[in-house]
Amino acid sequence: MTHPAIAPDHVAVVTGGASGIGLAAARRFGAAGMAVLIMDLPGPSLTQAVEALKAVGIDAVAAPTDVTDIAQIAAAKAQADRMGPVSVLMCNAGREGGGGFAAGEAVWRRTLETNFWGVFHGLQAFLPDMIAAPYPGAVVMTGSKQGITLPPGDTAYNVSKAALRALAESVSHDLVKQTGGRVSAHLLIPGFVYTGFTRAKGVTEKPAGAWTPEQTADFLMEGLDKRDFYILCPDNEVTREMDLKRMRWGMGDILENRPALSRWHPDYAEAFAAYMKAED
């Protein structure tokens, strides 16, 4: 069983598709017979990604695009329309933030403009035609567990992904009302994945605990097949059960009126450790 939007002779658009999870997903869509438009910043990575897809017989086209610029997204949309009917949109482009509350406005703006507004621009450009079309469609937004559990450190990134989660949930609900589920929305929530973000930190080999982008793309396809909205990926360190327990604890901060982010609060360290060890 496959999601009906993944159809031969239709087009999949992937932002941030020149590397990592985006490129791995583009390969999966292309292997299913779709043409693929790769939207990413101009440069060698984009050129090489498209050449690699073409080398395995995928009809791939490069669209040099900065997703923070709605005019560039509109130009990519016109390019995609010339390729055929767009039935899959994967808003995957993202960036790390780089600091906490005091990181500076420039850091915050860059992070939010890519991780939130870049997705919003993509939805605005592509969704109206997907809603109006007679065929099934699927929209994938790449979120983050950090947008749910909010670990201290990269606050700008956490806020951007929390906002994206809220957007994705609302879009999914609206699509049910507008299309009866013919066009579906999905929030991809990767685990620890060895991508360019990791390599940029000086890690030259895949850590044992990390998944590959290809494993993540396979899990995405399984989630789409099942019509899951929350496509919550494990990795080689963290199981789904561990993720769910951590998320339940986070919701408990509200329900039990604990301090914000009590998982990392010194007064709750022992309680959280005992909670994680206890069997459900």
Per-residue model confidence as pLDDT tens digits over 41-87: 999 999 999 999 999 999 999 999 999 999 999 999 999 999 999 99
C-alpha–C-alpha distance, residues 31 and 242, integer Å:
33
Residue in 157, 194, 230, 268 annotated catalytic: 157
pLDDT for res 200: 67
Show the DSSP H helices in the chain as ranges.
Answer: 20-31, 44-55, 70-83, 105-112, 118-132, 146-149, 155-179, 196-200, 213-225, 240-255, 269-277
Q: Are 38 and 49 in contact (CB under 8 A)?
A: yes
Q: Are 210 and 198 in contact (CB under 8 A)?
A: yes
pLDDT for res 202: 72
Closest by CA position to 123, among listed 95, 94, 89, 81:
89
- Residue 98 — very low, low, confident or very high, per pLDDT cuts 50/70/90? confident
CA max distance for the chain: 59
Does the active-site annotation cover 135? Answer: no
Least confident piece of the model among 28-32, 46-50, 101-105, 208-212: 101-105
pLDDT for res 204: 77
- In tens, the pLDDT along 117-165 reads 999 999 999 999 999 999 999 999 999 999 999 999 999 999 999 999 9
Provide the 8-state DSSP code for 16: T
**How far, CA to CA in Å, does 13 sit from each of 83, 108, 132, 215?**
11, 27, 17, 20
- Residue 195 — very low, low, confident or very high, per pLDDT cuts 50/70/90? confident
Show the DSSP H helices in 180-212 as ranges.
Answer: 196-200
Residue with the bigger pLDDT between 180 and 204: it is 180
- In tens, the pLDDT along 7-54 reads 999 999 999 999 999 999 999 999 999 999 999 999 999 999 999 999
User: Is the model's pLDDT at 4 over the cut of 80?
Assistant: yes
